[in-house]
Amino acid sequence: MSEKSRDDTMKANTAATKIQANFRGYRVRKQLKETQQPYQKRQQSDDESTSSSTSTLKRQNTREALEEKSATKIQAGIRGFLVRKRQQAEQAAATRIQAGFRGFVVESGPLDVGTALILRIRKALR
């Protein structure tokens, strides 16, 4: 793996980690905000409290699962984009190297009969 691709991978992982940390912080702050209600509102009958807290927990769990799934999709999209971008850059670099080498071979001429034969065979196979 080249130095550049390692750097790109590290940057992508760092970015994904930051996205996850920000998202988790947002989710925790939101949960705290929802659970911190005035004392009078919390004093309801036991039946109402139990049923409302159960339904609230179900809604929170469903919402958390949806948010987690959404964050995962965003991260996958970003990682896919970065991988495709890196592959495109590597392909362009390989093409430039190949073109330079082929130009060098044409200008310098074949070194011996065996090399000339190999080059002709390769050219014919393309």
Give the per-residue SS3 of the chain: CCHHHHHHHHHHHHHHHHHHHHHHHHHHHHHHHHHCCCHHHHCCCHHHHHHHHHHHHHHHHHHHHHHHHHHHHHHHHHHHHHHHHHHHHHHHHHHHHHHHHHHHHHHHCCCCHHHHHHHHHHHHHC
The pLDDT value given to residue 65: 85
The pLDDT value given to residue 40: 47
The pLDDT value given to residue 31: 81
Which positions ≥6 away from 90 have C-beta within 8 Å? 5
Tens of each residue's pLDDT in the chain, 126 residues: 677 788 888 888 888 888 888 888 888 888 887 777 654 466 655 555 566 667 777 777 888 888 888 999 999 999 999 999 999 999 999 999 898 888 887 777 656 767 777 878 888 887
The pLDDT value given to residue 58: 76
